[in-house]
Structure 1
């Protein structure tokens, strides 16, 4: 009667465990060796492109001589009054004055509204006054705009409070990262563009610095966050390259915006095409950050649910999530623009031009190209991030898997497994593969 030898899984020895840990260490080293030089290169680019403090354009003075601004509360609205004195307001200092209100704003005014008022003082002499009469100073009060500060501050406070309440310390870190990003734009990006610095360099330096700050502040320093950052960097480079080509190929000048000529007269050094190109890259920044960190987190969770999954299986499952993300994000980008530019879209819909003629004209063409460029960068970033995450999650989790296999913490006895085989993950081979052990 033939007898059989008992077949047990060969326990991983110390050398195999060291190999696994070395593999994980090499993965982390490769990630650091990629991201640290990128950061150093970015800081070098920021130093090279940093705007000169003495070359800033002069401050644009929006106040005319003799104009003083004040805040007030509307006390009366007279829609049927002749002329422009169609409202009265009580100023903060207590005076009640008549306001000159443009006709289009009269239906929007109501008693109790907080408004901003311009007091315009000018010398005036009556027509029938005798010669040599000294002019008297006459003050005219003009409606400038509504005071929107208090409701906006309330919204900001509610937003920040909810973010911290729901996301806790991570939400607070995200708010800090947002502040850092806006600071980078204000201190570096805007002055650099006003002084005519190269658009692609300014856009990439701005975007990379913001991404490093936002991702690591909000999500912590980890292999998962670094993977999302690497995917974001790929998407940013692709977006910048496509934006550079498309703005030239489509002959986008940046002159179609309503503030283009004012900007040229106020800052002659600025290049409007550069502003447009930089705006394309920055517009895709937030969306790229969203999809890459989501994809990295999804792959990490998929691996945690099924640690035995192979690299190909993780990519396949991660891309099923990524395709849904692509589909939802693309139409989100499109409808975000349609909603923001609805008055322009309504105006264009009244013209007698065909659809292609409308899409290829002026400001519409710029926004269409901006949307397409951002969407292309998004679509490219998702598979790259998914593939990197699938590779790095398995490598970074290999030491833990080996320790569980050694200690039996995975729910089986130490060394237990399929007769005649040992899990390859413990030996540094891809998880899910098996290695025959001779009986």
Structure 2
């Protein structure tokens, strides 16, 4: 690899990455308005050493609170054993057993300490599962799996350290999500495909599909009256909107773009790779024939990928659907509820993006792979006339 190719392959990306890191550090210099006063309150880790009073009933349920002894392992009381309580709720507390690692909500004021069990300590289990997934991805996928893992880590990084600070600063959540989709798609596709036309095709098709999903959601919103203000946690979001510059109404649609990114990226890269292979095997194909071959590949993918987001959002709403069924709610109440409308909008709009990304990606691939090449149908009459003169 000569110096020019090395610079194109690695030099330019490294420079752009350095500029992106500087940009990320800058936007994270933000002062947050405190929504809740947490002075003196911390969450510390500990280990249950003794059950002083259990709340387990003969039928296996828990009523009231447990009184337990916990040895704290972090915080100002690290190494001390404190008596605390654990509620029997499903959202907070834990069914403590001796040896269980827990997270303790602790409030310290002088010599006085008030504690309660917040939850079981799940941190390292989460890290272990995430690491196991990345290891399996790399082992099964080989070199491409490693690149995919790097792309996944970069995407997660962008959501936490780019999307959230920019939205908190008052920028449009919709356009911030478009920016995130473009950046993560470029990086992921570049890692997988390198500086090739296939990468450019997949990136263009992905961005087009995501924007189409956003436009579809906007049209659905205008027609149905469902907006980002109709979400279930709007009360907490209103408090956030009143104390910061966050544009709460756009969060719903920005989330839709990010959630559809993975499925659209899969479609665009698959089609780009397929057309690249078809063109490599038969460079003599006309633009029309290459477009038709690409659409055949895309139509086969539509049958399964069009269901991806609909089933994903339906799965996320399954608890609500079970409750609606159990309460025998009238059909008109269910179909016109905000929650159902939002789930339908997310599923259908994302699927619009997937389906319409197919012809856009195919057209872009045909244009790039046959760039500056005369169409066979256009040159055929001239070739026939040439043969006749000979």
Alignment partners' CA distance in 1, 2:377 and 2:96: 69
Following superposition, the deviation at residue 395 of structure 1 comes to 4.5
Matched, 1:193 2:167: yes
**What's the C-alpha RMSD, in Å, of the aligned pairs?**
3.4
Partners of 2:317 and 2:343 within 8 A in 1: no
Deviation per residue, 1:152-187 (Å, 9 max, x gap): 111111122222223333333333333333333334
| TM-score normalized with structure 1 length | 0.69
Alignment partners' CA distance in 1, 2:199 and 2:43: 51
Q: 1:82 to 1:323 in 2, by over 3 A?
A: closer
Following superposition, the deviation at residue 369 of structure 1 comes to 0.7
Following superposition, the deviation at residue 91 of structure 1 comes to 3.2
Matched, 1:69 2:50: no
Matched, 1:103 2:79: no
* Alignment equivalent of 2:140, drawn from 126, 146, 166: 166
Following superposition, the deviation at residue 87 of structure 1 comes to 4.2
Partners of 1:101 and 1:143 within 8 A in 2: yes
Matched, 1:181 2:155: yes
Query: In terms of Rg, which structure is larger?
Result: 1
* Alignment equivalent of 1:84, drawn from 58, 62, 65: 65
Deviation per residue, 1:68-124 (Å, 9 max, x gap): 63322465455149852354444334544444222235885444432111234579x
Matched, 1:206 2:180: yes
| TM-score normalized with structure 2 length | 0.76
Deviation per residue, 1:31-71 (Å, 9 max, x gap): xxxxxxxxx9xx9xxx9xx96956x4314457354556332
Alignment partners' CA distance in 1, 2:109 and 2:32: 30
Matched, 1:430 2:376: yes
Deviation per residue, 1:394-432 (Å, 9 max, x gap): 448x7xxxxxxxxxxxxxxxxxxxxxxxxxxxxx55289
Alignment partners' CA distance in 2, 1:86 and 1:320: 65
* Alignment equivalent of 1:116, drawn from 86, 94, 103: 103
Following superposition, the deviation at residue 237 of structure 1 comes to 2.9
* Alignment equivalent of 1:231, drawn from 205, 215, 240: 205
Alignment partners' CA distance in 1, 2:188 and 2:294: 24
Matched, 1:343 2:319: yes
* Corresponding residue SS for 1:171: helix
Q: Give structure 2 stretches of 5+ with no counterpart.
A: 1-15
Alignment partners' CA distance in 1, 2:241 and 2:375: 61
Matched, 1:265 2:252: no
Matched, 1:326 2:311: no
Q: 1:209 to 1:112 in 2, by over 3 A?
A: same
Following superposition, the deviation at residue 212 of structure 1 comes to 1.7
Partners of 1:296 and 1:389 within 8 A in 2: yes
Alignment partners' CA distance in 2, 1:107 and 1:200: 38
What residue number does 1:284 align with? 260
Deviation per residue, 1:362-384 (Å, 9 max, x gap): 22222211111111111111112
* Corresponding residue SS for 1:101: strand
The alignment covers a number of residue pairs equal to: 349
* Corresponding residue SS for 2:118: strand
Partners of 1:122 and 1:139 within 8 A in 2: yes
Partners of 1:315 and 1:390 within 8 A in 2: yes
Following superposition, the deviation at residue 356 of structure 1 comes to 4.5
Deviation per residue, 1:225-262 (Å, 9 max, x gap): 11112222322332232233322332223344443322
- Structure with bigger RCO (C-alpha 8 Å, 6+ apart): 1
Alignment partners' CA distance in 2, 1:67 and 1:181: 30
Moved more, 247-256 or 322-331: 247-256
Q: Give structure 1 stretches of 5+ with no counterpart.
A: 1-39, 124-136, 399-427
Q: 1:194 to 1:113 in 2, by over 3 A?
A: same
Partners of 1:247 and 1:277 within 8 A in 2: no
